[in-house]
A and B are shown apart, each in its own frame.
Chain A
């Protein structure tokens, strides 16, 4: 369960298309509850935010 949770989070974080739609499709398929999907989406968004901030800090430091 924990393993599949992190696998899903990483998959959603690195997905190019609309993350919410991807998760919505999984929820509609009955593989995830709405709360699980929301949690995964939030976790993935935080990972993306962390990556963006790191990138920005690197860029700022290189000025």
Chain B
């Protein structure tokens, strides 16, 4: 064997040993990295689950709020409708009131109010007298 072949064999051996060492070291490093990533993923997954539960509860609460709001909207719509109806009725009643006032003023203007009142007062006076007459008759009957 020549000196060159021996040197080549030694260099090859050293290279083989170095290569094996680097491979083992890299494998160790990668395993550690994978474990760290795994752990991180596990923690993230747990946090994610917790967040999901919390979010689900919040969504349920939001759903309930939306349902309540929907009911309130229906109630407010019904109230608004009632207010509109009442306003319409007020307008109608104001029209009737205005019409009646006009007719009453016309009735008074024509002098019919005073005339009719006087007629009624005269009739009441006649009824008074008739009642007095019956009253006296009853007294006479009582005396007998």
Contact = CB atoms under 8 A, between A and B. Distances in A.
A26 interface: no
Contacts of A56: 131, 134-135, 138
B131 A52 contact: yes
B111 to A, nearest CB: 10
Contact of A42 (B121, B128, B135): B121
Contacts of A35: 108, 113-114
B141 interface: yes
Interface residues of B, number: 17
Given A35-B108, A38-B117, A42-B117, A49 B127 contact: yes
Interface residues on A, range: 10 to 19
Interface in B84-143: 108, 113-114, 117-118, 120-121, 124-125, 127-128, 131, 134-135, 138, 141-142
A54 B113 CA distance: 28
Given A35-B108, A38-B118, A46 B142 contact: no
A41 B142 CA distance: 34
B131 A63 contact: no
A60 interface: yes
B90 to A, nearest CB: 21
B118 A45 contact: no
Contacts of B120: 42, 45
Interface in A4-42: 34-35, 38-39, 41-42
A21 B113 CA distance: 19
Given A56-B131, A56-B134, A60-B138, A46 B124 contact: yes
Interface of A: 34-35, 38-39, 41-42, 45-46, 48-49, 52-53, 55-56, 59-60, 63
Interchain residue pairs A-B with the least CB separation, the first 4 = A38-B117, A45-B124, A52-B131, A42-B117
Given A42-B120, A48-B124, 17 more contacts: A34-B114, A35-B108, A35-B113, A35-B114, A38-B117, A41-B121, A42-B121, A42-B124, A45-B120, A46-B124, A49-B124, A49-B127, A52-B131, A56-B135, A59-B135, A63-B141, A63-B142
